[in-house]
Amino acid sequence: MHNHKDIIRRLKTAEGHLRGVQRMVDDDAYCIDVIRQIQAVQASLNKLSSKILTEHLNSCLITAVRGEDPSERERVLKEISEVFDATQKI
C-alpha cells in the first residue's frame, strides 16, 4: 500500500480514541455517551476502509484485470464483492 504513513496515522488515532473510551468507562461515563464514542471510532474506520479500497482498485485491481492470468483476475474481483458484502453486514 501507498500512503502507509497516512493509514498508520489513522489507525493510531482510532486506537487512541478507543483508549479514551476505556477511560470514559472507568470514570463511569453515561452509557449513551460511550456508545456514541464507539460509533465515532467506527465511522473513522469506515473512512479508512474506503480509502484502502480506493487505493486497491487503483493498483492491484488494475494490474490483475490487465494481467494474463484469468484466475488471478477472478480472485481479485471476487474479493471486492466479498468486501462489499461484508460492509453491508457491519
Question: Can you give the binding site for a copy of itself, defined by CB under 8 A?
Answer: 1, 4, 7-8, 11-12, 14-15, 18-19, 21-22, 25-26, 28, 30-32, 34-36, 38-39, 41-43, 45-46, 48-50, 52-62, 65-66, 73, 77, 79-81, 83-90
Nearest residue (CB) to a copy of itself, 25 versus 69: 25
Q: Which residues contact 48 (CB under 8 A, 6 or more apart)?
A: 7, 10, 11, 14
Q: 21 with 38: CB under 8 angstroms?
A: yes
Query: Cβ of residue 69: shortest distance to a copy of itself, in angstroms?
Result: 14
Task: Give the Cα separation of 76 and 33 in Å (integer).
Answer: 40
